């Protein structure tokens, strides 16, 4: 495949992913975040790998640009401590137990929607009374997508396409809230 045709097709995949969300769902996320913020609660954004990088970026932008308190769990010492003591599949749940308060919003990102630590985190967040927003891709019936109050899903199995779509959706929410 020639590079020009490769890139055209690649950008079409991204474009389809971006357009696949119902804008009403993004509006629901903004409403959920705004209500949580107005009651003095925070946003917690969590992911693995590239999704962890997205979580960092988005948490900082919620805090700086939208002036909405947000955190993420990307500190190596926190991850390794909780993973060592409770198992990697439970570290997000344990971090939520330590840092989350009822009424917070948990934004949980997993490209596949199958990451055990993120899925267990979603279950814990629900149990604790947090609003749960999930972002996933790949299989439409992935376990994470079944756990959120609002579930944003990208119909793609290409990691980078899913991750870029998640980042753009989340940053569009930040930008919208920053203008309000």
CATH for 117: 3.40.50.10490
Q: What pTM did the predictor assign?
A: 0.95
- What b/e readout covers 81-110, taking b as 16+ CB neighbours within 10 angstroms? ebbeebebebbbbbbbbeebeeebbbbbbb
pLDDT at 117: 98
For the stretch 113-166, pLDDT in tens is: 999 999 999 999 999 999 999 999 999 999 999 999 999 999 998 899 999 999
Q: How far apart are CA 97 and CA 99, in angstroms?
A: 6
Distance CA 28, CA 24 (A): 6
Q: Determine the length of the chain.
A: 180
The pLDDT > 90 percentage for the chain reads 93
Q: In terms of residue numbers, what domain contains 83?
A: 3-178
pLDDT for the residue 95: 98
Q: What residue spans of 21-158 are helical by DSSP H? A: 23-38, 50-64, 76-86, 91-99, 116-127
State how many domains the chain has.
1
Mean pLDDT of all residues belonging to the chain: 96
Among 17-21, 54-58, 98-102, the least confident range: 17-21
Q: Is 1's pLDDT higher than 70?
A: no
């Amino acid at each position: 495949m020639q590079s020009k045709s490769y890139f055209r097709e690649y950008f079409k995949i991204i474009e389809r992913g971006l357009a696949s969300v119902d804008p009403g769902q993004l509006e629901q996320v903004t409403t959920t975040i705004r209500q949580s913020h107005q009651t003095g609660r925070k946003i917690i954004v969590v992911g693995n790998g590239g999704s962890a990088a997205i979580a960092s970026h988005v948490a900082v932008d919620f805090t700086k640009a939208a002036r909405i308190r947000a955190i993420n769990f990307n500190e190596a010492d926190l991850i390794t401590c909780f993973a060592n003591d409770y198992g990697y599949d439970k570290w997000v749940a344990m971090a939520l137990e330590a840092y989350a308060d009822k009424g917070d919003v948990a934004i949980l990102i997993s490209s596949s929607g199958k990451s055990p630590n993120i899925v267990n985190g979603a279950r814990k967040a629900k149990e604790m009374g947090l609003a749960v927003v999930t972002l996933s891709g790949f299989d439409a019936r992935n376990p994470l997508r079944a756990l959120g109050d609002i579930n944003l899903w990208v119909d793609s199995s290409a990691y980078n396409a899913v991750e870029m779509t998640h980042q753009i959706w989340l940053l569009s929410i930040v930008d919208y809230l920053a203008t309000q």
